Amino acid sequence: MLLQDKVAFVTAAGSGIGAAGAQAMAREGARVVVTDRDGAAAERVAQAIREAGGRAEAMALDVADDAALTAAIDATADRQGALDILHSHAGIQIEGRLEQVAVADMDASWRLNVRAHFLAAQAAVPHMRRQGGGSVIVTSSNSGVQYDREMIAYATTKHAVLAMTRQMAADYGRENIRFNALCPGFIDTPFNRGFEVQMGGRETLEAYIATTIPMGRFGTVEEIADAIVYLASPRSSFMTGHALVVDGGECI
């Protein structure tokens, strides 16, 4: 197994990409800490992992709570005796152009899409340093390598977190702590609600997918989970500071 006995901590893992990634890492032998603001959702994912023969525990966690986020990562490393993988996935999608986005919504975007990743990584580094390395995966988006019409808060923060991930990679490469950004395109989950609103409804979004994306379809959470396992595992051992775009060719 690629991740046998590795300890993985995942935020926003109660559904969608976060849940699929947690389950995929568990199938590869990792001990996974599944966290989500919805503690019941986190427990359902952890229970599914256990029922499939994997190892997982659940934790209710709001990544906007600085102290709780840091404490959860520290407690996991202390309890498990290691922290090998951090997948900092939580985020928010707010639609609108400059004149349509409230300052409070821009602040919320920054807090979830950039600041929470900063704090999670900051908490993880000392534990990874002590054990000689680790893999930090930060979820950006293909919106971090292109620009979306009328999505200023989302695109701005996704570009910012990509720059931050690359900076951390440059700073910690010699300590064997790898930082890579996961950049999914359109994956068919409820997270796309902001894009649906911005585009004028589900039918318009589906038409965009069919006509604009070279592969002509949504991606699946399983396809993104495969990318997560790759970034977490030794198969990407010489990769750091990379933006792994998985979007069916949309950003070409």
- CATH number for 159: 3.40.50.720
Assign residue 231 a region: left if phi > 0, alpha if psi is -120 to 50, beta otherwise?
A: alpha
Token output for 234: 């030794």
In a domain, 75, yes or no: yes
Task: Give 150's contacts (C-beta < 8 A, 6+ positions apart).
Answer: 95, 96, 97, 100, 198
What local confidence, expressed as pLDDT, does residue 165 receive? 98
In a domain, 251, yes or no: no
What local confidence, expressed as pLDDT, does residue 25 receive? 98
CA-closest candidate to residue 117, choices 57, 171, 164: 164
What are the residues facing 55 on neighbouring strands? 31
Structural domains counted in the chain:
1
pTM: 0.94
Residue 154 among the catalytic residues? yes
CA-closest candidate to residue 11, choices 92, 94, 79, 69: 69
What local confidence, expressed as pLDDT, does residue 83 receive? 98
The span from the CA of 229 to the CA of 4, in Å, is 12
Residue 151 is classified by DSSP as B
In a domain, 100, yes or no: yes
CA-closest candidate to residue 86, choices 168, 197, 144: 168
Contact call for residues 161 and 117 (beta carbons, < 8 A)? yes
The single residue of 147, 154, 208, 230 carrying the catalytic annotation is: 154
In a domain, 1, yes or no: no
Give per-10-residue mean pLDDT for the chain (252 aa).
Answer: 97 97 98 98 98 98 98 98 98 94 97 98 98 98 90 96 98 98 90 71 84 93 97 98 96 88
In a domain, 215, yes or no: yes
Segment 200-222, tens digit of pLDDT? 778 888 888 899 899 999 999 99
In a domain, 189, yes or no: yes
Per the structure, the complete domain to which residue 225 belongs is given by 7-246
The span from the CA of 161 to the CA of 145, in Å, is 11
What local confidence, expressed as pLDDT, does residue 194 receive? 66
Token output for 28: 């590869």
In a domain, 57, yes or no: yes
Task: Give 107's contacts (C-beta < 8 A, 6+ positions apart).
Answer: none
Following DSSP, what letter does each residue of 140-208 receive, concatenated?
--GGGSS--TTBHHHHHHHHHHHHHHHHHHHHHGGGTEEEEEEEE--BSSGGGHHHHHHHTSHHHHHHH
The span from the CA of 12 to the CA of 165, in Å, is 18
Number of Cβ atoms within 10 Å of the Cβ of 164: 19
What local confidence, expressed as pLDDT, does residue 189 receive? 80
In a domain, 252, yes or no: no
Task: Give 73's contacts (C-beta < 8 A, 6+ positions apart).
Answer: 9, 83, 86, 120, 123, 124, 127
Number of Cβ atoms within 10 Å of the Cβ of 193: 13
